[in-house]
Structure 1
């Protein structure tokens, strides 16, 4: 314990350099495509599901949005990727895109992979893509983010000659996609070459899980390149204005130290907030709360290997919200260190029990946004509608957890701004 206390004291003495406060205009983004889009909704965290389907860090969308400081609003309903779909299948369900409310301002299209698997000609694929692009820009009034067909090494039951032809067809379609670049169609042709490995027109083995679908590393490559491409077109969190709406949280900058904490934590908690541990999971020495000179809330978790799962629930109770109104929560966070952490989530929900059991009986869904990569950025929940006033006491809820089974937990997290926004 003495060694642990020394580690904690050293960690607390390290200077914190604050991140500049930035602003943004959030826009909804929808995904249209096959399984590569379908798998982009969410991130897998230690076996826990958030919003139906999880794949282990295969979300190029989350990597992209994180690099853009959560520039885009997204919820599971806006993922219209379906595994196995060809371009003709996507055309047949374009009405699903028109039914989204609010309508997306941007729609990513990653399609054609399954056409290639079925030996559909490039001419037919590009004709279908033209129909899809025109529908998005004309009927929906959104901008297209046109992704290329990714290089692949998996060609089930293809002969050598058919594989050669398939690779040539992919290149032909991708050349056409790149030529569509314009005000309403944003293309990212370099994704193909960045994804490519030492064998021409085949992916780097580290970037795919099965010769076809992106791995965590592959998803990161796609997401970072999309962020680079989109910044001059869509801007990022740094370049816009605050979302239209009302700030309903009085302690936007985590002011004061009059909050409460449980018996297994120590330090100072911001006004009108409460820190709760995950049950009797360790000593109070594992979790320490303090305020930075700027007034931000600092959370430090240090626990030696073998201490189990250590975490904290950090919640802000709110006034009753208006029935029928739409809200979302957002948090500006700076992760100085995150060794041993596997989850950092921002959640908008009804009042929970003292044990952290979550409820959302008066919301249309539990608004959860998990962070895929630790660093500086903004977490923003999906937009939630208040469906009734039966349980009007709502809260914004931050959950941070780590697992010490593989080594020490050493986390230093700064919470900078938190807001609950009512959309007009």
Structure 2
């Protein structure tokens, strides 16, 4: 087991990249002072709080720089101008680590749309059931448009000898339907997004000795369930299955790389633009 003391600088950076204690449900319902979040992360990864702040600032700068580079593409700029977001809409993203990523697709979108109010409610490790449990926090964000990407952790399996999924296909379908209905009941528009493709070869190599893993066929099943629940969804799984997964994904075979996150945002924007009235 990796301990705090044995974390490398790259491992600390990766942990901070995907972890926002401010978005943990307990700490949203019972907030603590802002500087305590930096201290909490610092205690977790075994470094000074200032190091946490420096890494977070560096990641935020990377997201801004990437968004600025994407905006040099006139086609991308034109698509942003035709997104179906009203000026008064609060654009809220709900998801797991793919969305929580500090250099991820929603952070890039937020940097590219400074005139809009955006709220990232991605929490690493979340399943569809987890988001149902914290639906009060989504409601409190007062969204006008919700971008919902879930399911990768529903099919996360636990156990070295015998793997057990976090949720069955039927449970994932039930939860997604409930979330779509609840969001619509608030009067918000919801855009469901299938999880992106994964790389089984690299997953097997990365998680071979660990108690958790993923299976590409299970991710494909979740994508099919999402298409069933929300036929007008962004079919990110199909769009990324034929990509060069070596470039699209990080070494673990599950999380999109910086290049992959750019591609995800492009695909989402393309879809929303095509469906815009």
TM-score (norm 2): 0.56
Q: CA deviation at 1:72?
A: 7.4
Trace 1:150-299 onto structure 2 (pairs within 5 A): 150-153=196-199, 154=203, 156-157=207-208, 166-181=215-230, 186-189=232-235, 191-197=236-242, 204-209=245-250, 210-234=252-276
**Residue matched to 1:61:** 106
Separation in structure 1 between the aligned mates of residue 276 and residue 117 of structure 2, nearest angstrom: 15
List gaps (5 residues or longer) in structure 2: 1-76, 158-164
Match of 1:85?
A: 126
Specify the alignment match of 2:152 in structure 1.
Answer: 113
Q: CA deviation at 1:180?
A: 3.2
CA displacement 1:253-286 (0-9 Å, x = unmatched): xxxxxxxxxxxxxxxxxxxxxxxxxxxxxxxxxx
Provide the residue aligned with 1:122 in structure 2: 169
Residues 105 and 143, structure 1, Cα contact 8 Å, conserved in 2: yes
Corresponding residue SS for 2:196: coil
**C-alpha contact 1:151 1:192 (8 A) present in aligned 2:** yes
Partner of 2:96: 34
List 4+ stretches of structure 1 deviating above 4 A: 62-66
For residues 84 and 62 of structure 1, what CA distance do their matches in structure 2 show? 18
Relative distance call for 1:141 and 1:152 in structure 2 (3 A) is same
State the SS of the aligned residue for 1:115: coil
Rate the CA distance shift 1:231–1:125 in 2: closer, same or farther, 3 A: same
State the 1:206 CA deviation: 0.7
| Distance change >3 Å, CA 25–CA 143, structure 1 → 2 | closer
1:367-423 per-position Cα deviation (integer Å, ceiling 9, x unaligned): xxxxxxxxxxxxxxxxxxxxxxxxxxxxxxxxxxxxxxxxxxxxxxxxxxxxxxxxx
- What's 1:134 paired with? 181
The CA RMSD measured in Å over matched residues stands at 3.1
What SS does the corresponding residue of 1:187 show, helix, strand or coil? coil
Alpha-carbon offset, residue 70 of structure 1:
2.9
Shift of 1:64: 4.7
Instruction: Check 1:115–1:180 CA distance in 2 against 1; reply closer, same or farther (3 A cut).
Output: closer
Would the alpha carbon gap of residues 230 and 171 (structure 1) be closer, same or farther in structure 2, given more than 3 Å must change?
same
Considering fraction of residues, name the structure with more strand: 1
**CA distance, structure 1, for counterparts of residue 225 and residue 137 of structure 2:** 26
Flag the 1:127–1:158 CA change in 2: closer, same or farther, 3 A: farther
CA distance in 1, matches of 2:150, 2:130: 10
Tell me how far 1:92 sits from its aligned partner.
0.5
The one-character-per-residue Cα deviations of 1:281-309 (angstroms, maximum 9, x if unpaired) are xxxxxxxxxxxxxxxxxxxxxxxxxxxxx
Task: Give the distance between the partners of 2:254 and 2:219, measured in 1 at CA.
Answer: 13
1:231 and 1:70 map into 2 onto residues whose CA distance is 15
What aligned pairs does 1:345-360 form with structure 2 within 5 A after superposition? none
In terms of fraction of residues, the more helix-rich structure is 2
The alpha carbon displacement at 1:129 in A equals: 1.1
CA contact (8 A) 1:64 1:224 kept: no
- Deviations along 1:88-137, one digit per CA (max 9) or x if unpaired, are 1111000001112xx21111111111121131321211111111111111
Asked if the contact 1:206–1:215 (Cα under 8 Å) also holds between the matched residues in 2, the reply is yes
The answer to whether the 8 Å contact 1:28/1:105 transfers is yes
